[in-house]
Amino acid sequence: MGRIIAVANQKGGVGKTTTAINLAAALAASDLQVLLVDCDPQANSTSGLGIPRKLGRPSLYHLLVGDASVTDVLINTQFDGLSLIPSEKALVGANIELVDVDDRERQLGQRLDPLRQNFDFIILDCPPALDLLTLNALLAADTVLIPIQCEFFALEGISELIDTVARIRENYQHPLRIEGVLLTMYDDRTNLTKQIAADLREFFAADIFETVIPRNIKLAEAPSFGKPIIAYDVRSKGAECYIQLAREILTDDRPAA
Ligand SMILES: Nc1ncnc2c1ncn2[C@@H]1O[C@H](COP(=O)(O)OP(=O)(O)O)[C@@H](O)[C@H]1O
Ligand SMILES: [Mg+2]
């Protein structure tokens, strides 16, 4: 049975999409079947895998609020073992269109549950908001992976996300676990980064991944070529680190939170 991991942080620009694409690709490269679900109307995971934003075919939006089936929306990417459910701008409407639907927070989970048999991992790339789409992703997921950029306001808003996780456990009786907190765009040449990393390690303790993602220009370039980092430049530091993150998740010997 596959594990569903939501990559979430309501802040934009912290490395959610970069992590979702490259973790998914690194897991797929370990001979696993992986599905990446682009839950963000900005569709950066979709374009980052070389799929055009103007799809001309059903997307996650049609799966959630229309009558498209999973087979209608699922795309086999050009990367072995990696499938995608794409997004598009229209998905932003789902936040409103789902409001009157029964079990509106569980729509994504209901659609994805049958796919657990087909995939080892399902990675959900969340939008930069604690909206209904993110709520759907968190309720569909077994675990949440939280990327945090090592900058001055790193912890701002994190308590809101942690509160949301706690609320999901209580109000929905959904045993959502923390997969881990990932330090992104890490630059160990600056004292500020080191200080912030130390603060985060104190705050999150065992939940922090040992793997840290450095600032690496290749990671920023890869999406414009429609490729995950391991296909764009497998020898880059960025590729090495996302492969290491995949390994850390597969080993999973950290204490469960
Ligand atoms: N480790 C990194 N090194 C360099 N650039 C990065 C790194 N991670 C992300 N970026 C760049 O930072 C920007 C925001 O990252 P992204 O993954 O899109 O964040 P989010 O999905 O949280 O909004 C993008 O332009 C991306 O290419
Ligand atoms: Mg994103």
Report the alpha-carbon distance of residue 123 to residue 75 in Å, rounded: 14
Cβ 37 vs Cβ 111: under 8 Å: no
Kindly give the number of the ligand 1 atom that is closest to the alpha carbon of 125.
Answer: 21
What tens digit of pLDDT does each residue of 2-37 get?
999 999 999 999 999 999 999 999 999 999 999 999
Cβ 158 vs Cβ 22: under 8 Å: no
Mean pLDDT for 207-227 is 97
Report the alpha-carbon distance of residue 31 to residue 49 in Å, rounded: 18
Query: Is residue 255 scored above 70 in pLDDT?
Result: no
Q: Ligand 2 center to residue 248 CA distance, Å?
A: 22
Average pLDDT, the chain: 94
E strand intervals along 126-255: 143-149, 177-184
Mean pLDDT for 174-190 is 93
For ligand 1, atom 11, the nearest C-alpha belongs to 220
User: Of the ligands numbered here, which is closest to the C-alpha atom of 245?
Assistant: 1
* N-terminal to C-terminal alpha carbon distance within the chain: 21
Query: Is residue 257 scored above 60 in pLDDT?
Result: no
What are the structural domain ranges in the chain? 3-251
Q: Ligand 2 center to residue 13 CA distance, Å?
A: 7
**Exposure string over 203-229, b if 16+ CB within 10 A, otherwise e:** bbeebbbebbbbbbeebeebbeebbbb
Mean pLDDT for 83-109 is 95
Report the alpha-carbon distance of residue 35 to residue 28 in Å, rounded: 9
Which of 56-65, 84-93, 188-197 shows the lowest mean pLDDT across its residues?
188-197
Kindly give the number of the ligand 1 atom that is closest to the alpha carbon of 221.
Answer: 27
Classify domain 3-251 at the CATH topology level. Answer: Rossmann fold (3.40.50)
Residue type present at position 213: I
* Cβ–ligand 1 contact at 149 (below 6 Å): no
Query: Is residue 247 scored above 90 in pLDDT?
Result: yes
Cβ 120 vs Cβ 34: under 8 Å: yes
> Looking at per-residue confidence, does 80 or 200 come out higher?
80
The residue to mutate among 10, 18, 193, having the most atoms of ligand 1 within 8 angstroms of its beta carbon, is 18
Q: Ligand 2 center to residue 104 CA distance, Å?
A: 23
Query: Is residue 256 scored above 60 in pLDDT?
Result: no
Q: Ligand 2 center to residue 146 CA distance, Å?
A: 12
What tens digit of pLDDT does each residue of 122-168 get?
999 999 999 999 999 999 999 999 999 988 777 777 889 999 999 99
pLDDT score for 253? 59
pLDDT score for 89? 95
pLDDT score for 254? 52
For ligand 1, atom 27, the nearest C-alpha belongs to 220
* Cβ–ligand 1 contact at 229 (below 6 Å): no
Query: Is residue 118 scored above 90 in pLDDT?
Result: yes
Q: What percent of the chain has pLDDT over 70?
A: 98
pLDDT score for 197? 87
